[in-house]
Amino acid sequence: RKARSGSRRRRHWERCSCRLTRTDSDVQVLVLPTPDTAALAVAGFLAQTLRRAPDVVLGLPTGRTMIPVYRGLVRLHESGLADFSRATTFNLDEFTGLPPGHPGSFRAYMRQHLFDHVNLPRGAAHFPRSARTKGSAYDRLIERAGGLDMCLVGIGRNGHIGFNEPASALTAETHRVKLKAATRRSNAYLYGDRPEKVPKFAMSMGIGTILRARAVILLALGAAKAEIVRAATTGPVTARVPASLLQTHPN
């Protein structure tokens, strides 16, 4: 059903392109006055998307930035304004080497902040499984679902999206990655604020997988992200700032 409906969803995304301010790099940028306002704007857009395209395929991230987004989505679901009953989700990343149900996993994060509180069907949420699972298998699963309609991403202070870390070259497909120290520190809140407890490796959607989504939204909150957002949206397109490759995306 997903594959057959792919062309219909593509037409939907052509109709629903965001009407926002464009930078010289053709990235559409919306600046909102507070973090809560920004997070609720994204939650509202996702809820609107669910209403317009109930069988939407979403790429979803984790991180502190996304907690108020998911909180807003849960409230919208409780108000009857966000129905996940026909949706499919693919998370951008997951740590490797964790036992099933580990409280520091992104699967546990998604259950805590979203999945346990909405009507997403059992089996409709997907994660890159482990280092033993070839990333290309995850990409094929996304393709069989009809491709990502929209991918929501955050941005690390070093410019990473998903766990695509700064490098001389980036991997296109889902792959195993060694996490930078800064990335492990930013995820330490999942491990009692102890960066040394954060796994050193993870599976991540590749930059090509993200860029194949029909629409991409990047959410950044707070002044601390200002310089990296500027670099990602108006600076050179470079693997040293992985988020800068979003400048090449048409939507």
Given the residues 149, 165, 175, 187, the one annotated as active site: 165
Contact predicate 53/10, CB 8 Å: no
Contact predicate 221/192, CB 8 Å: no
Question: For this structure, is 77 an active site residue?
Answer: no
* Residue 44 CB neighbours (<10 A): 16
Given the residues 91, 93, 94, 164, the one annotated as active site: 93
79: burial class by Cβ within 10 Å (0-12, 13-18, 19+)? Answer: exposed
Question: For this structure, is 14 an active site residue?
Answer: no
Question: For this structure, is 251 an active site residue?
Answer: no
Given the residues 117, 158, 249, 251, the one annotated as active site: 158
Question: What backbone phi and psi angles, to 5 degrees, belong to 18?
Answer: -65, 140
Q: C-alpha 211: how far from its chain's center? A: 11
Given the residues 91, 160, 164, 187, the one annotated as active site: 160
Query: What's the farthest any 2 CA atoms get from each other in the chain?
Result: 47
Question: For this structure, is 119 an active site residue?
Answer: no
- List, by residue number, the catalytic residues: 93, 158, 160, 165
